[in-house]
Structure 1
Amino acid sequence: MRLFISTGEVSGDLQGALLVTALKRQAQALGIELEILALGGDRMAQAGATLLGNTTAIGSVGLLESLPYIWPTLQIQRRAKQYLRQYPPDLVVLIDYLGPNVAIGSYVRQHLPQVPIAYFIAPQEWVWSLSPRNTARIVNITDRLLAIFPEEARYFAEHGANVSWVGHPLVDRMQAAPDRASARQALGIPDEQIAIALLPASRRQELKYLMPVIFQAAQQIQAQLPQAHFWIPVSLEAYRSPIEQAIQQYGLRATVLAGQTSNSKFEESITLRAIAAADLAIGKSGTVNLEIALLNVPQVVLYRVGAVTAWIARHILKFSIPFMSPPNLVEMRSVVPEFLQDQATPDNIAQAGLELLLNPVRRQQTLDNYQAMRQAVGEVGVCDRAAQEILQLLPANSLLS
C-alpha cells in the first residue's frame, strides 16, 4: 500500500515522524506492507518515509512574512502533485499546514477522487478562523478528521466532518522523555543551579521578531539572578549561528544545544532534555508549549509578528483570539502566562518569569493547572489510534489483494 503524507515546519515533521512509526507498526500487525512518501523533514525520513520535498524550513507566520516562502512552497507542491498524478497513492494523510495542505487535498479530491483523505491535526480554525470558507474546504476534502483536542473535535463535527478524537501525539512522545534528574545529570547541571530553557524560533522570521525580546528578558532575569544559566536547544542547524551571535550581543550565560542524542533506554531530543532539566522555560507559542507543560515545567509564552501584519490583522481582518498557546487552548483559560504582540515586552516576560521562579504559590498553581490540562490531551497510544483509523480508510479490495 502506498501512502502519501503532507506536512510542514518543524512541529509537523515531529508529529509526522511519530505517525509514520505508528503506521508501520499497525500495518505490520495487519500484514500490510507500506510505502510512505511524504512532504516533511529529516525526522520523517528517519522514521521510514521517502521525502518528495523538505518543508521544515519554509514555514512562516504573518502576511508579509510569508511572501519569501510562497515560491518555494509552490515548487514543492507542483512536484508533489505531478508525482501523485503519475503514481496515485492508496491513501493521503494531511497534517496541519493549512494553506498548502488544503491545496493538495483539493487537488487530490478533484483529480484522484477515489483516493481517501485523512486529516490528522486539523488547522486551528476552531480557534481563529478568518473565514468559514477555510473550515468548509477542510471538511469537504476530508474523509476522516482525527482531532487532537476535544474542542477541535466538537467544532469540526458541528461543521459536518467525520471526526474521531484520538488525543495529542505528544502524549506518546513524552513516554521517551527524560526526568529532571537524568536530564540535569546528562547536561551537567548541579541540583542547586537555576536552569532556564529559552526556545526562540522554529521559523526563520521568529529569529527577527521573537529572539531579541526573549534574550532581553533573559538579560533582566540574569541581572536579578546571577546564578541562572540559560539552555537554548536549536530546532534547525541553520539557526545556530544567529543564536550564538545573539548570546554574545546580550551577554547571556548560555549554552546552545543542537542535534539528537540517544542512550540505551530511549532516543530523546535535545529540546526535551533542555526542557526537562529546566526550572523555567521561555518560548514562542507553538507545539513546544505542550511539551513543556507535559514535562511539568512552568513557562512564559510570547508571540510577535511584523508591525504591518499586526495592523492588518487587527484593523482590517478584525483578527482576535481567546488564547494562543496550546495549554491555554486546551482548557480555554489562562494555564500559563502568554503575551501577544505589543504585550510581548522584555519587562512583561521577565516579570512573569521571575514570579514563576521565586513565588512558590504561583509556581504550584501552574503545576496544578497542568494536571487538569492533561485530561484533555488523551491517553497514551494516540499515534496508534490515529494509525488504526487511517488504515481503516484503505479500500477493502486493496487490503484483500
Structure 2
Amino acid sequence: YKFGAMKPEAIAKIPPQYAHKFAVVGDLMADITDIPPPPPFVRGGPEEKDSPLSPPFQRGAGGDNTSHSPLSPPFSRGAGGDLIPHDQEIIGMLPGSKPAKLAQGVPLTLAIAQNIRATRPQTHFVIPVAPTVELATLARFADRDRNPLVAKLGGVGGRLVEGYRFLLTDGGVKVELWRQTPAYDLLSRCRLCITTVGANTAELGSLGVPMVVLLPTQQLDAMRAWDGLPGLLANLPLAGSGFAKAINWLVLRQGRLFAWPNIWAGEEVVPELLGELEPEAIADLIIDLLTHPQKLEIMRDRLLALRGEPGAAEKLARLVLSLL
C-alpha cells in the first residue's frame, strides 16, 4: 500500500524504513480551483432535465428560467434575457454541522450579518448547508423561542421563508441557504467566509478564501472533536458535557491555534476570535477587511502559499495504478 501526502513536510518525520510507502502528490483542493465552470444553462437543451444549474432557476411568467437568487451559479438571466455574470459582494457563513456548534454558530452569524448589512447594504450572505443538516434544524437554532443562546449571541433570530430558500433575520436580512454540495464554486466566489473551527478551515484555506474563524465560549461544551482520550471523554453519554467543558477550558488557556491554515503556518494567518464574542465587534472587523481589500488579498496570498501544488488527482491515480 501507498500513502499520498500534500507537502514534503507531512512525511519528513516518517521513519526511514517506511519512507518508500509515501509520495508527495500535492493538494486535491488546488485541483478543484482549476476546474472550469460549467457551461451556461440553455433553455430547452438536452441537459435541461439533469443540469446541476437547473435547480436554482424558477419558471417565470413568460416561460423563461429566471433566477430569484443573486447567487445562482454561475449566471442569472437579466431583464433582456441575456446571461450576465455576477459581480457581487458575497459573504459565506459556515456555522457548523453538529448541534452543539449550530446552537451558537447560527444565531451568532445571523447577528453578524445583520450588523454588516446596516453598513454595507450591497452585501449578500449565504450558508452552504452541510448535507447532514436539515433546514428545519437550522430554523430551530435560529428561533429565539427554541434556542436560548440567541439572546446571548446578539439577540437576532431568524425564520425560513420563500420555500425554505432563505433564513430571514428579525431585521429583514435574507441569508440564502445553498443546498448544492460540494459548494466549492460558491465558496471561491465569496469575498470572505465566517466559519467555526474544523475541516472547513482547511478547505477554505486551500481554496484561498479569506476567513474569520469564530470560537465562541458562551456554551463551553460545544467543541468535542478532540483526538484520543479527550475526545472519548468529551463524548461520553451524560458525563460528556462536563468533561467537554473542563477539557475546553484547559485547552483554551493554552493559547493554541485552531484554524488549520494557522496550524500549518505556525502563526495567525487568518483571524481567530475566541471568547464570549460580540457580533457588533466581529462585524466591525469584517467591515474593515471589506473596506480595505488589500488586507484580504494579503490573506488570500498567504493561504495559497500554504497549500500544496496542483496535480494531486492525477498523481494519486497513477499511484493507484502502480499498485494494480
TM-score for the superposition, normalised by structure 2: 0.59
Deviation at 1:299, TM superposition (A): 1.6
Counterpart position of 2:149? none
Distance of aligned partners of 1:177 and 1:214 in 2 relative to their CA distance in 1, 3 Å threshold: farther
**Structure 2 CA distance for aligned equivalents of residues 382 and 327 of structure 1:** 19
On the 8 A contact 2:207/2:304 being kept in 1, the answer is no
Deviation at 1:357, TM superposition (A): 0.8
Counterpart position of 2:45? none
On the 8 A contact 1:183/1:276 being kept in 2, the answer is no
On the 8 A contact 1:183/1:277 being kept in 2, the answer is no
On the 8 A contact 1:209/1:306 being kept in 2, the answer is no
Counterpart position of 2:117? 222
Deviations 1:184-205 (A, max 9, x none): 5259898564321111123343
**Structure 1 CA distance for aligned equivalents of residues 86 and 248 of structure 2:** 45
Counterpart position of 1:52? none
1:195 aligns with 2:90: yes
Among 247, 250, 266, the alignment partner of 1:312 is 247
- What is the DSSP-based 3-state SS (H/G/I as helix, E as strand, rest coil) of the residue aligned with 1:176? coil
Counterpart position of 2:178? 257
- What is the DSSP-based 3-state SS (H/G/I as helix, E as strand, rest coil) of the residue aligned with 1:167? coil
Counterpart position of 2:296? 363
On the 8 A contact 1:300/1:352 being kept in 2, the answer is no
Distance of aligned partners of 1:325 and 1:273 in 2 relative to their CA distance in 1, 3 Å threshold: same
Deviations 1:177-223 (A, max 9, x none): 649x9945259898564321111123343212322222222222122
Amino acid aligned to 1:151? E
Deviations 1:17-70 (A, max 9, x none): xxxxxxxxxxxxxxxxxxxxxxxxxxxxxxxxxxxxxxxxxxxxxxxxxxxxxx
Deviation at 1:233, TM superposition (A): 1.5
1:210 aligns with 2:105: yes
Gaps of 5+ in 1: 1-115, 117-143, 261-268
Among 147, 153, 168, the alignment partner of 2:5 is 147
Amino acid aligned to 1:379? E
Deviation at 1:258, TM superposition (A): 0.7
- The equivalences for 1:77-156 within 5 A come to 144-156=2-14
On the 8 A contact 1:336/1:366 being kept in 2, the answer is yes
Amino acid aligned to 1:383? A
Deviations 1:85-125 (A, max 9, x none): xxxxxxxxxxxxxxxxxxxxxxxxxxxxxxx5xxxxxxxxx
**Structure 2 CA distance for aligned equivalents of residues 158 and 321 of structure 1:** 34
**Structure 2 CA distance for aligned equivalents of residues 256 and 187 of structure 1:** 20
On the 8 A contact 1:148/1:166 being kept in 2, the answer is yes
**Structure 2 CA distance for aligned equivalents of residues 318 and 206 of structure 1:** 16
- What is the DSSP-based 3-state SS (H/G/I as helix, E as strand, rest coil) of the residue aligned with 1:238? coil
1:280 aligns with 2:188: no
**Structure 1 CA distance for aligned equivalents of residues 29 and 205 of structure 2:** 11
Amino acid aligned to 2:138? I
**Structure 2 CA distance for aligned equivalents of residues 318 and 243 of structure 1:** 27
Gaps of 5+ in 2: 39-70, 79-83, 143-157, 160-167, 223-241
On the 8 A contact 2:205/2:304 being kept in 1, the answer is no
1:173 aligns with 2:32: yes
**Structure 2 CA distance for aligned equivalents of residues 175 and 372 of structure 1:** 16
Amino acid aligned to 2:112? A
On the 8 A contact 2:97/2:133 being kept in 1, the answer is no
**Structure 2 CA distance for aligned equivalents of residues 321 and 391 of structure 1:** 44
More displaced, 342-351 or 214-223? 342-351
Among 302, 324, 328, the alignment partner of 2:258 is 324
Counterpart position of 1:301? 213
Distance of aligned partners of 1:187 and 1:154 in 2 relative to their CA distance in 1, 3 Å threshold: farther
Distance of aligned partners of 1:232 and 1:311 in 2 relative to their CA distance in 1, 3 Å threshold: same
1:382 aligns with 2:318: no
Amino acid aligned to 1:300? V
Amino acid aligned to 1:257? W
- Identity over aligned residues, as a percent? 27
**Structure 2 CA distance for aligned equivalents of residues 321 and 173 of structure 1:** 33
1:185 aligns with 2:100: no
On the 8 A contact 1:149/1:167 being kept in 2, the answer is yes
- What is the DSSP-based 3-state SS (H/G/I as helix, E as strand, rest coil) of the residue aligned with 2:75? helix
Amino acid aligned to 2:25? V
Amino acid aligned to 2:33? M
- What is the DSSP-based 3-state SS (H/G/I as helix, E as strand, rest coil) of the residue aligned with 1:300? strand
Deviation at 1:282, TM superposition (A): 1.0
Deviations 1:249-270 (A, max 9, x none): 743321111135xxxxxxxx4x
Deviations 1:139-177 (A, max 9, x none): xxxxx4433344332344589765433222212222226
Deviation at 1:348, TM superposition (A): 4.5
